[in-house]
Structure formats: C-alpha cells, structure tokens
Chain A
C-alpha cells in the first residue's frame, strides 16, 4: 500500500486533485484506491463528491476533538490496511492540518509499513492573502512536503510567478508543479505524483 497525504488550506482544490488522481489510478482496473476524508467544515461535501466517484471513502471529522484526529487517522490507516488493503490510500487532511506532522506520526505508528508521501496544494489565487494572515499555518503546510502543486493557475494571473518564487524559498529543491484542477489535469502531473520518491 502507498499512502499519499494531501494538505493545503480550505478551498485550495485538494478534493478536485484527489478525485482526478483516484480516477487515473483506477482507470486501468489494475489498482485499487481508498480515501480517508478528514473534514472540519460543513456536512461532508467532499466526502459525498468522492464517494460519487465510486471510491471507498472513510470520513474522519475534526471539530472539537481535532487534537485527537491525528491518532484517529493512524487507527483509520491501520483499519483500511487490514480490511481493504488497497494499492493506494489517499488521505485528504483538513485545511488546518500540517501534512508533515501527520506523516511523521503515520511513519512512526503505522504497522503496515506503507510508504507515506505528502503533497501540499497551494492556492495560487490566495497565497499572498493567506500568508499575510495565516503565515505560520500555510508555511508549515508546504514545509516538509514531498511535492507542491500550485493550483488555480488559470485564475491566478501574473502573480503566480511571485507565489512560486515565494514557495520555492520555503521548500528548497522540492518539486513544484502548477495546475488548474478545475479542468483536466495533465498526465505528467499524475506521473509525478504516482512516482513520488
């Protein structure tokens, strides 16, 4: 089992990317995908969207017990590994989670020994605004990620270059891709995610 852990602030486009990625992986009928959907917002919208795509989705909620969610996530990974054992487990974190921290806990406690990689989606249209108000959160989300996808390139305008340069100063040599997940994502992006080392 391979684990792909997606982070990024609320509304950055995580669900759109995950939906396309899961369809791509399962298109040949050779590999299976399960999804853990960790939400904090209104009644399971992303959960419904992903379930409608025909994937096994395990919702995991934050709310007042958000401090427990990371350990619940490890338990959920363990349960899925034992019961479904999919080829790929995709985890969508809440917009407030720090993927690098969650990955550390999974690597420490997950008994399946699955490889866990983190991908953070950056909202190109709001990076500057988010960084102004929530700098510690959005910076920590991209730090320690294995791959960055700067999303909403279609609506970001010329500022996208500034965003990419700013993210680059935080992540160093980590690969940064651009995307517009509202439309069809390019095959190269899927290849990059699937072959992430």
Chain B
C-alpha cells in the first residue's frame, strides 16, 4: 500500500488550489455519529464534552485515513448550544429521549419590526438580541456561552491538530445573509417579506453581508487558519426562482467570496439542498478561492462537469447511503465519485452534510475504505 507523502494540511491546501495530491482529502462531518460509534448515548455525547471528544478520537483511531476534521460540535454542545447556538435547540436527555438527535426549532424569533432595529444597531448587535429571544436567556448568558464556545472550539482545534488532521475550516461563520433572515424570521414569514418588502431587504442584506465578511476576517486572524464555514440552504434553486436568486442571494455570495479572496480567506460554502440549477453561478466566483460543499441533493456529477478546474468541490455521500442502503451501494457510489474527479481537480471526499448518527457501522467502514481503494493517487 502506498503511503501518504503530504501532511493533511498540505493536502487540503493543494486541493483548494486545484493542485495534485498524494491521495484524496477525507473530510466527513462526523459529529453525533461519533457517540454512537463509541457506544454512548447522544445525551452523553451532547452534554459531556470529554465523552464527546473521546468518542471523536475513537472514530479517528478506527479510521486514521480521516485526515480533515470538519468539526462543528463546539457550537451545538448542549450547555452552550442552548444559549448561543444557531437557533432554539432541543436536546437529548432533556427535551428529547436520551438517544435522540438534537433538533433546531425554527420559529418567528425575529419580527418584521426588527428589521428597523437591525438597521439601527447593526447585524452583530441585533444578532445578540435574536439569540436572547431564540434561547430565552439574558444577554449575559449569551455572551458567556459565546466565550465558552470559543474555548471549546480551541479545544477541538488542538485535539484535531494533535491527531495530525487538518482543520477543514477554522471557524463556522454562520450562513449567507439570505439564510440568516430566512431562519431568524422563519421561512413562512420571510417569503412574505420577499414578496412585500423586497426593497427593505435590498437595503439590509448588504449590512448582514458586510458583518459576515468582517467576522470572517476577525476570526481567521484570531485562529491563524484562513478557512471558514459559511452555510447556504434556502437560496437554492430548489426553493427560489432565478429572479429572486439574482436579487437576494447571488450578488451577496459573490461579494462575500470576492472580499474574502482579497484577504486570502477561503470560504467553504456549505450548500445544503439542491443547487443544481445554480451551478453556472459559481463560475462567477473567483477561481480557486472557495470550496463548494454539497450534501447529496445537488447533482455533484453535473457540478463536476460545470465547475471542473474552477473550484474545489466537497461531498457528497448522501445520508440515505449510510442509513438505509447496503454497504455495496455506498461502495459503488464512492467509486463513482472518486473515479469521476481526477487528481488535481480539487475534490474533497465527504459525507453529504453530517454523517447521520444512525448510520450503519458497516457502511461507514466502506466509506472510509474507499479512500485507499479509489482515492489513492501515488
């Protein structure tokens, strides 16, 4: 068997730069599956940091070919997630059964009147108000939880680097402006805003975008890693028309990536849902300056046809192949993925979004085994 000749960091940097590597980057989002793999309940995983970290370690010990940690548990870990997580969270062991996966509850935590508040106070200040409301906690509790989350993130970083893995991203910088509004307002209310007060959104989306760019700059300086996670879902062509994408989504993603590229920051655009209709758009973003992460809903083979040589693509073994398909079906899909993308074409092999916590262990093994079987280049 050939050996790795690059470090994990060299490999991911080369992949983003569309350069040849020794073998494919393997960067699944492990998260809650680790607890199941380690034989603990999800309550233990979500409420006991040390157990969660040990569970993650066990996955890596079993599958050391996992060389890039797309980590995010520090923001969902129950004691902080329920005070400053992305939305109201229901957790195993408290609101849910001990081995249930956590849930994000979406509701209208931001009212239409709050747009004026956001305009007056700025996005980051308003975001704190939103978090107070979403989690029903005080400002002091929100900021204390944010500090704790930063400490846990550093712990995840330290453990990741000690294992010799790369950080797929240094920090998670939330979502693109359109998704921020959609999730804070709830989609039912936000679609009405698009219909009724689109001009106000035109005015406010740049404010949110600028705050996100500034946040990315600050956090990359602080962590010394120039990769950031930026999520996008609701603006996909699966949901909204091209007309609205061109008005409310595309321009801001373009500005975001361009401004970050100027600062040598690489956004990993975590695009959940089906973006197949939008793939041509990504050609408008600067070449080799971002990663397009797909979750299995977008046609990744179409993405390859359109974006080959333009950007790194991360993905996308779908959740169903881990949970309900046979191991051989997963192997077949992994083979197709890893033989479609050629060395130097910027592919990062991954689960589509999170590896499901109810994944079959034999399918997970096949997922990792595929790296040596089909993704070894040297």
Contact = CB atoms under 8 A, between A and B. Distances in A.
With most chain B CB atoms within 10 A of its CB, the pick from A68, A78, A98, A129 is: A68
Interface string A133-158: 11111001000000000000000000
B188 A136 contact: no
Contacts of A63: 87, 103-106
Given A43-B105, A75-B358, A133-B195, 15 more contacts: A41-B186, A42-B105, A42-B106, A63-B104, A63-B105, A63-B106, A64-B87, A67-B272, A67-B352, A68-B354, A68-B356, A95-B188, A109-B325, A133-B194, A140-B238
Contact of A96 (B86, B105, B187, B320): B187
With most chain B CB atoms within 10 A of its CB, the pick from A71, A109, A130 is: A71
14 contacts: A63-B106, A67-B273, A67-B297, A70-B320, A71-B318, A72-B358, A74-B323, A75-B323, A78-B324, A96-B187, A98-B238, A109-B325, A134-B191, A136-B238
A68 B319 contact: yes
B103 A61 contact: yes
Interface string B271-295: 0110001000000000000000001
Contacts of B106: 40-42, 63
A72 B323 contact: yes
A188 interface: no
Interface in B241-297: 241, 244, 272-273, 277, 295-297
Contact of B240 (A41, A42, A134): A134
B179 to A, nearest CB: 11
B188 A64 contact: no
B191 A67 contact: no
B107 interface: yes
A171 interface: no
Interface string B312-344: 000000111011110000000000000000000
Given A68-B353, A71-B356, A129-B195, A136 B273 contact: no
Interface of B: 86-87, 90, 101, 103-107, 186-188, 191-192, 194-195, 233, 237-241, 244, 272-273, 277, 295-297, 318-320, 322-325, 352-354, 356, 358
A26 B204 CA distance: 51
A121 B196 CA distance: 24
Contact of A41 (B90, B107, B324): B107
With most chain A CB atoms within 10 A of its CB, the pick from B105, B195, B240, B354 is: B105
Contacts of B238: 98, 136-137, 140
A157 to B, nearest CB: 18
Contacts of B233: 66
B241 to A, nearest CB: 5
A10 to B, nearest CB: 4
B195 A66 contact: no
A27 interface: no
Interface string A164-182: 0000000000000000000
Contacts of A52: none
A74 to B, nearest CB: 5
Q: Classify the secondary structure of B's interface with A.
A: loop
B320 A136 contact: no
B320 A42 contact: no
B195 A132 contact: yes
Contacts of A137: 238-240
B232 to A, nearest CB: 13
A194 interface: no
B354 A133 contact: no
B93 to A, nearest CB: 16
Interface in A41-89: 41-43, 61, 63-68, 70-72, 74-75, 78
A83 to B, nearest CB: 16
B235 to A, nearest CB: 11
A54 B358 CA distance: 29
Contacts of B192: 129
B320 A105 contact: yes
A11 B191 CA distance: 13
Contacts of A66: 233, 272-273
B240 A136 contact: yes
Contacts of A130: 191
Contacts of B353: 65, 67-68
Contacts of A65: 101, 103, 353-354, 356
A63 B103 CA distance: 6
